[in-house]
């Protein structure tokens, strides 16, 4: 930052504009871009991706891919994570039951169903 020397004025006091040059406007785009993929996808990366999507996805909203790529720290960018998630097949899990409790005040009917798999919704 350059500081200008004060200019004498007839007015009482010195204004800040006399010392500091105005700031540059804010950039339109993020200044940091996603890093390029550093390696091919493997089974370990797929498992990390699945776990982070489950952790950070809220309802049926799009997962926060930039956060997932940053937290995973496995060398894949957010765009690559999203593309890989869409390509992943569901993982069958015979033991994953889903229970739905119906009725007033937590009582009443209980419905148990088997999940079809774990993967992109």
Domains of the chain: 35-88 (1.10.10), 92-121 (no CATH)
Q: Which residues contact 46 (CB under 8 A, 6 or more apart)?
A: 84, 88
What pLDDT, in 10s, does the model give residues 49-83? 999 998 888 877 889 999 999 999 888 999 999 99
Tokens 């009725």 sit on residue = 103
Give yes or no for a contact between 94 and 114, defined as CB atoms under 8 angstroms apart.
yes
Q: Provide the b/e sequence for 104-117 (b: ≥16 CB within 10 Å).
A: eeeeeeeeeeeeee
29 phi, psi to nearest 5 deg: -115, 160
Higher-pLDDT residue of 34 and 89 is 89
Mean pLDDT of 97-106: 61
Torsion of CA 13, 15, 18, 20, to 10 degrees: 130
pTM above 0.85, yes or no: no
C-alpha to C-alpha distance for 110 and 115, rounded to whole angstroms: 16
Query: How many Å apart are CA 79 and CA 33, to the nearest integer?
Result: 11
């Amino acid at each position: 930052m350059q500081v200008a020397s004060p200019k004498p004025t007839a007015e009482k006091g010195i204004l800040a504009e006399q010392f500091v040059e105005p700031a540059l406007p804010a950039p339109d785009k993020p200044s940091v871009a996603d890093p390029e993929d550093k390696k091919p996808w493997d089974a370990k990366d797929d498992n990390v991706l699945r776990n982070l999507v489950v952790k950070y996805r809220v309802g049926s909203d799009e997962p926060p891919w930039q956060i997932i790529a940053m937290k995973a720290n496995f060398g894949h960018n957010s765009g690559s994570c999203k593309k890989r998630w869409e390509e992943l097949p569901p993982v069958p899990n015979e033991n994953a039951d889903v229970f739905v409790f119906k009725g007033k005040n937590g009582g009443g009917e209980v419905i148990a169903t088997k999940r079809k798999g774990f993967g992109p919704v």
